[in-house]
């Protein structure tokens, strides 16, 4: 591992913990993703985490707040980290190839099928409250079905 990779590995620790401390399971390998997708019944909220300060710094708090606010709770909370866990991220994205890769982003899967996707463009340049409300509305619609 080169010096840059070591540096980045350390930098992302609090970004990972921001989600894992709120119940998200990290999927670190392609095998982790496949295992989750094979077993996951019901709704899975997938956060494709990233280092990007502007959008990712909005996405993580908005997801956490939306989960607190929404009466409808996903059955599974999982995350992959774009740019860090590359194989896991690519494998997760393979389950919703109809949308272009975007990070950070938020996917809501119902029984393994993409039910809703919030790309970076709907996170970046929006405030946390807007993103929170958007996701809370989506959770209510998808998780309630």
Catalytic residues: 52, 54
H or E segment to which residue 108 belongs: strand 105-110
Contact of 123 with 104, CB cutoff 8 Å: yes
CB atoms within 10 A of CB 120: 21
Beta strand 105-110 with 43-49: parallel, antiparallel or unpaired? Answer: antiparallel
H or E segment to which residue 142 belongs: helix 128-144
């Amino acid at each position: 591992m080169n010096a840059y990779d070591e540096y980045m590995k350390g930098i992302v620790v609090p970004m990972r913990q921001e989600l894992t401390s709120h119940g998200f399971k990290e999927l670190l390998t392609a095998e982790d993703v496949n295992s989750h997708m094979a077993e996951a019944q019901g709704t899975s909220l997938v956060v494709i985490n990233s280092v990007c300060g502007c959008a990712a710094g909005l996405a993580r708090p908005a997801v956490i707040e939306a989960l607190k606010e929404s009466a409808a709770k996903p059955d599974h909370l999982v995350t992959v980290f774009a740019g860090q866990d590359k194989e896991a991220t690519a494998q997760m994205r393979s389950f919703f190839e109809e949308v272009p890769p975007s990070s950070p982003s938020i996917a809501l899967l119902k029984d393994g099928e993409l039910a809703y996707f919030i790309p970076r463009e709907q996170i970046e340049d929006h405030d946390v409250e807007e993103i929170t409300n958007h996701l809370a509305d989506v959770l209510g619609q998808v998780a309630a079905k």
